[in-house]
Amino acid sequence: MRKEWMEKDYYAERGVTKDADQKEIKKAFRKLARQLHPDNNPGDAEAEGRFKEINEAYDTIGDEDSRKEYDHVREMGYFVGGPAGNQQYVRVEDLFGGGFSGGGQAQDLFGGLQDLFGGGRRQARPQKGQDVSGSITLSFHEALTGPTKEFGVGTDTVKVKIPKGVADGTKVRVKGKGGPGANGGPSGDLYVDVHVGEHPTFGRIGKRDLTIDLPVTFSEAALGAVISIPTLNGTTKIKVPAGTQPGATMKLTGKGVETARATGDLLVTIKVVVPTDVSDDERGALETLKEAESTRNPRKHLGV
């Protein structure tokens, strides 16, 4: 839990009301992110600062669980300081070891008093500590490396190893690194929601496969060609067979995302580019082609 939760109104920063649903919050974030992204505002320190602020806000109220904690903390007015960390959230109940959760130590306390006046005494049962949730945003390339990040949990700093090749939306669990247990019970767990940014060139399908649209000329598709294509690890060559149709997909095995279990593939979709302006030489060649294929009717199956 950060002190900023008490000082900052993340709803106002995002331009939404406190009653906004998650869909409205996500829509507002995307709009602001596009406006303030450093790529669209090169050299603008103010825009860069605002971009970081809305990301911080989204990390908190863009997730339903952390949003509930944020709202609760601001309503109750509680704050716990901790070491500087990355995306740290701790539930208010952790301040009291679960004493305000509707059970646990509160029940044990009053149960113990009843036993005392009744002439007996019972032993409090061990209770697991509260789970703690946080989130982090990684760039596409950073996610490929499997970085180690630090999170503040109470007064402790927890190092979390993010899996190599992690996909957007992955939830990483660190057992026993949440809130402390009560009466000898085990500690809770730390859950980290991982958000991964998009790649400017590649799309992603599932955990490991990547996609790319490959523009080719008409002659390259019709006659075939060997074409250079980017991958995560540099440039490679791909053979486009003669007669390749627009929208055809080819697979480059092992050129996708590498994870601990396997490496995905790169799926290449052919996009035939039709020129909007042609030179005199190109026009002459096209006229010759047009005449040569005058007997060819690609719409014959349509009856026209």
We find that the CATH architecture of domain 4-196 is Orthogonal Bundle (1.10)
- Neighbouring-strand partners of residue 214: 270
What average pLDDT score do residues 76-96 get? Answer: 42
The per-residue pLDDT for range 101-155, each reduced to its tens digit, is 344 444 444 444 444 444 445 568 899 999 999 999 999 999 999 999 999 888 8
Name the CA dihedral angle for 84, 89, 92, 98, rounded to a multiple of 10 degrees.
-100
What count of other Cβ atoms lies within 10 Å of the Cβ of residue 149? 19
- Domain ranges for the chain: 4-196, 203-293
Q: What was the pLDDT predicted at 231? A: 97
Rg (CA), the chain: 29
Is 81's pLDDT higher than 50? Answer: no
Q: What was the pLDDT predicted at 176? A: 93
Tell me the pLDDT band of 89, cut-offs 50, 70 and 90: very low
Superfamily of domain covering 203-293: Urease metallochaperone UreE, N-terminal domain (2.60.260.20)
Q: 268 in helix, strand or coil?
A: strand
What average pLDDT score do residues 81-93 get? Answer: 41
Output the CA torsion sign for 9, 14, 16, 18.
negative
Q: What was the pLDDT predicted at 82? A: 39
Whose tokens are 């999170």? That residue is 151
Mean pLDDT of the chain: 82
Q: What was the pLDDT predicted at 270? A: 97
What average pLDDT score do residues 286-297 get? Answer: 90
What average pLDDT score do residues 273-285 get? Answer: 92
The C-alpha atoms of residue 108 and residue 181 are separated, in whole angstroms, by 14
| Percent of the chain whose predicted confidence (pLDDT) is above 70 | 81
Amino acid at 200: P
The per-residue pLDDT for range 16-63, each reduced to its tens digit, is 888 888 888 888 888 888 888 877 888 888 878 888 888 888 888 888
Name the DSSP letter for residue 263.
Answer: B
Which of 62, 107, 85 is CA-nearest to residue 2?
A: 85
Q: What was the pLDDT predicted at 6? A: 62
Q: What was the pLDDT predicted at 122? A: 58
The C-alpha atoms of residue 9 and residue 30 are separated, in whole angstroms, by 18
